Amino acid sequence: MAVKSYTLALLVLFFFVNLLNLCGGADEEESGASFIFGDSLVDAGNNNYLPTLSKANIRPNGIDFSSNNGNPTGRYTNGRTIGDIVGEELGQPNFAVPFLAPNSTGKVLLSGVNYASGGGGILNGTGRIFVNRLSLDIQIDYFNITRKQIDKLLGPSRARDFIMKKSIFSITIGANDFLNNYLLPVLSIGTRIQESPDAFVDQLITTFRGQLTRLYKLDARKYVVGNVGPIGCIPYQKTINQLKENQCVELANKLALQYNARLKDMLAELNDNLPGAMFVHANVYDLVMEVITNYDKYGFLSASKACCGNGGQFQGIIPCGPTSTMCSDRSKYVFWDPYHPSEAANLIIAKQLLNGGPEYISPMNLRHLRDL
């Protein structure tokens, strides 16, 4: 009799454990997921696991990232990225885990996965100066692996429903295709002689269209795609071109605007041609330019100088590291380092993407996209 009671107790316990697991999985499914693709603006630590010259897992990067007690995580900023902030605000219980991290397995995938890589671009050749990085093609290859893992977690039918209805695909890429490819000092001169700006932008758009369509074939339906920001205004560009505080590099910004116009048209085409898809266009260029131009209105002291860096008038030559000069109040600088925004700037950008109007995010903001 005692054996039967013990067996019954074990069966009841097993039933409740499985019930709790199912409920936990259901909760995570209900919260939805962020699948994040891109470059160092949204990399959450993938480059930590690559033999690459582009890394941010050194102090004082991450000094304000409270979830890791102010220790570096591989994020190229002092705190959270735009992707982190958006995920939090949309109710996701965890930050999207870096795909290359050892813990990117099991139910954690249902909060989302981050595939972004510092130095990565639309073109596979972009960022070769860093030796190693994940191009967007490779990032999508990795999502294909995740897609199969979610099938195993939820079953094919529920997995497809989760990907199509509960997941947002965020793509922040393109800046490196100019900064660390077409505009790269010395190394890119041959490319620029052989390929006109029009031809280079055409190559980017054609390649990117194919990549977004590939994600669609893997059941992605809700997308937010950021255009290229005012790359001619970052401290690195201002420093190497010896500009004044209120100046930006004209060629870099002109190329970004040329690409951005084509990108907007391409996203409209995809919305027309891919049934059930919603491509949201994030006008990062105008949004960041607004913050740079009117920085004092947003409580910043500088929109030219890196908070953390070394070299030149704007501390724009040497990336942020242990020997860098660091500003006393990180919330007062638009730029954390020679290339990347501070968490304070990321918060302003993320707020507009979440709640803003059509001048910055169209045809709908991210809260509306989530609720589709």
What distance in Å separates the CA atoms of residue 16 and residue 95, rounded to the nearest whole number? 28
Per-residue buried b or exposed e for 203-237, using 16+ beta carbons within 10 Å of the residue's own CB = ebbebbeebbebbbeebbbbbbbbbbbbbbbbbbb
Catalytic residue of the set 34, 40, 167, 324: 40
Q: Please give the helix or strand (H or E) that residue 97 lies within, else none.
A: strand 97-98
Concerning whether 340 is annotated as a catalytic residue, the answer is yes
Q: Are strands 325-326 and 308-309 parallel, antiparallel or unpaired?
A: antiparallel
Q: Any catalytic annotation for residue 40?
A: yes
In angstroms and rounded to an integer, the radius of gyration of the C-alpha atoms of the chain is 22
Count the Cβ atoms, other than its own, within 10 Å of residue 10.
10
CB of 363 closer than 8 Å to CB of 352: no
261: helix, coil or strand? helix
User: Residue 172 and residue 335: Cα distance in Å, rounded?
Assistant: 18
User: CA nearest 62: which of 343, 339, 332?
Assistant: 343
Going by C-beta distance under 8 Å and a sequence separation of 6 or more, which residues neighbour residue 24?
Answer: 107
Residues belonging to the active site: 40, 337, 340
